[in-house]
Structure 1
């Protein structure tokens, strides 16, 4: 039996693994995708202390290597269920059942869909939720980014270095993104903003996206823009479907924790973007992971 199972290998999970394993605990990380989480989908990190700028995938790799350097192991599988059997927790995955004294949930969030006609049918045919992954396919073409938060504006800036033009579709006429990012986007010549507009339908032929129909938020008037790619960044939802029976989430599905990152179930912790909090950044995820990893390490002494 393992001392600690960490579900999710993003910045929060990797930091927890580092702290717990460095203190002598046996640690298993269970991750269904690439270690590093959303760092792998981020072009540039500019607000992590001590690092002026670094590519997201590079920081993900460095965190992963560091986490495993003290003995943590990685199991590549998807979690289906957590069973709370008192002192023993059982994590059911696609690779089998794993038991531990403590479980840390660090599964983060998933991208929210626009929920408009044509979106689902054209996923992978011009609709993408990862500019870093798929941006190069649209070199020299016009694309649309939907959203006005940090993720949307950061990805619009990244895409502006590849695409001939980037259309940014925003429901409001004010930015939700940080001022420094917004000002950089406004100063970028090939980014055009469509304020007070929202997506209405994805347009396509038999093989790929041809445009986006947008609706005026005030008048309801419809118009179309011709684009080859559409990148929605309209928010995120917590990945907590496998804990729905534990009663540890709020009404939005985010996990509730105390100052030690403990849930209401003894021995089950949660960290990172999956918990109910206001700020979701790499540095806050690392903070959560350090707290949980250290708290468990002290209990194991």
Structure 2
């Protein structure tokens, strides 16, 4: 008996953030019956993407008091479902563009085909290659790339913590961590911040936060299973010293989650998908990209 061909979808959407759900809502309203793959801890982040790692969203219309990242992503999802979007909590592993309709495979083994594909897979927080901070060191044992996800862990409470970065994310994470840590260092390679004035002012006004400008973390240290100290270096004087620290958080930007389509879809040197001017269309027919 011949193997049954996978169902052909009108449109498959990959992602779970605001761009993915906007695409889902519009295509559902157009009666295209979209199928959305929201990912299962894709890039180590829960469905909902980077918004789930944000404490308060203050710049989205309709929420004068602000709204938590988790709550707003739940609302996005509920609206998509209400419009008729079907959602699978699976991560896409590959897309075969060799024949049309395109074949889409998930890590769970689900195989589908589609006439159109919307890539809204977002980005994953970058990690730094610091001795002692990797998978064979204190990663997830005191080292993290998500303060909102991990900051409330018992072994961070009442302890000195450190955030690496100089942008808005670093300011937000450091401010959030002051709820739990006894002190929060912000380590910045340069002598200025990239963060917006509002976020800078908020961080500087917090008595628990100390800025270490022109510094770098050179090693994560600990005598047991958990992080205990950091070796830091003054980049101007070359002086090194050790500080007590039980939590190290990276807030240094993101890498796009596009590796599963980069063999066919044009990307820039950082891996972000290139779209045509004033359009979401890519170089591949029927393939569109949006969001981060």
Q: CA RMSD in A?
A: 1.3
| Maintained 8 Å contact 1:212/1:226 | yes
- Give deviations 1:245-264, integer Å, cap 9, x for gaps: 10411111110012220101
Give the structure, 1 or 2, with the largest relative contact order (CA under 8 Å, sep 6 or more). Answer: 1
* TM-score, normalised by the number of residues in structure 2: 0.90
Instruction: Map residues 1-301 of structure 1 onto 2, 5 A cutoff.
Output: 1-33=8-40, 34-52=46-64, 53-85=66-98, 87-94=100-107, 95-120=109-134, 121-137=137-153, 138-258=156-276, 259-273=278-292
Q: Tell me the TM-score normalized by structure 1.
A: 0.88
Higher helix share: 1
Instruction: Give the Å deviation of 1:86.
Output: 5.2
Q: CA offset at residue 87 of structure 1? A: 4.2
Give the aligned partner of residue 5 of structure 2. Answer: none
* Partners of 1:87 and 1:267 within 8 A in 2: no
- In the aligned structure 2, how far is the partner of 1:171 from the partner of 1:31? 35
Structure 1 residue 244: Cα displacement: 2.4
- Where do 5+ consecutive residues of structure 2 fail to align? 1-7, 41-45
4+ aligned runs moved over 4 Å, structure 1: none
Q: Report if the CA contact (8 A) 2:33-2:84 is conserved.
A: yes
8 Å Cα contact 2:229/2:246 also seen in 1: yes
Aligned to 1:278: none
State the Cα deviation string for residues 196-243 of structure 1 (Å, max 9, x = none). Answer: 111111111221000111111223221221011111111211111111
Give the whole-Å Cα distance in 2 for the aligned partners of 1:11 and 1:253. Answer: 20
Q: Distance in 2 between matches of 1:27 and 1:247?
A: 21
Aligned partners of 1:243 and 1:117: how far apart in 2?
Answer: 32
Where does the alignment leave 5 or more consecutive residues of structure 1 unmatched?
274-301
Distance 1:3 1:204 in 2: 53
Counterparts of 2:82 and 2:126 in 1: how far apart (Å)?
35
CA contact (8 A) 2:162 2:187 kept: yes
Length, aligned pairs only: 273
**Partner Cα separation in structure 2 for residue 35 and residue 269 of structure 1:** 20
